[in-house]
Amino acid sequence: AQRVTQPEKLLSVFKGAPVELKCNYSYSGSPELFWYVQYSRQRLQLLLRHISRESIKGFTADLNKGETSFHLKKPFAQEEDSAMYYCALSGLREYGNKLVFGAGTILRVKS
C-alpha cells in the first residue's frame, strides 16, 4: 500500500531560521516523490520532485530510501514561504499519475 506521513500539522518558525518539513512514505515499489505547495487563495502547485534534484525558491529535498523519507529543507525561511505544504508519492509504473498525498503541514514564518 502507498502511504505518506507528514507528522507536523503546523510548523512555526522565525524569519531567517532554518526550516525542515518532514515526510515519510511507505511504498513497496520504486516511488517518485513530490512536494506541492498551496499559498493563500492560490491553486495547488508543484514545488519540486526528487528526480529533478533542483532547488526551487531555496528549498531542497533529498530522497532517503533507507529511511523512506523525503524531508523538505530551506536554510533561511522567508515570510513569503508561509503556506500549506504537501508531500506526495507516485508509483508511475503501476499507478500512472495517481498521487497519494500526506495530510499537509502549515508553515508559518513569523517576522
Q: Which span sits near another protein by CB under 8 A: 20-28, 63-71, 74-82, 89-97?
A: 89-97
State the cell numbers at 55: 532547488
The residue with cell 500549506 is 84
Return the C-alpha torsion angle 33, 94, 7, 55, nearest 10: 10
Query: What contacts 98, CB < 8 A, 6 or more positions away?
Result: 90, 91
> Per rule CB under 8 A, is residue 96 in the interface with another protein?
yes
Could you say which of 102, 105, 107, 109 contacts another protein (CB under 8 A)? 102
Could you say which of 57, 98, 108, 110 contacts another protein (CB under 8 A)? 98
Q: Which residues bind another protein (CB under 8 A)?
A: 32, 43-46, 49, 86, 90, 92, 95-104
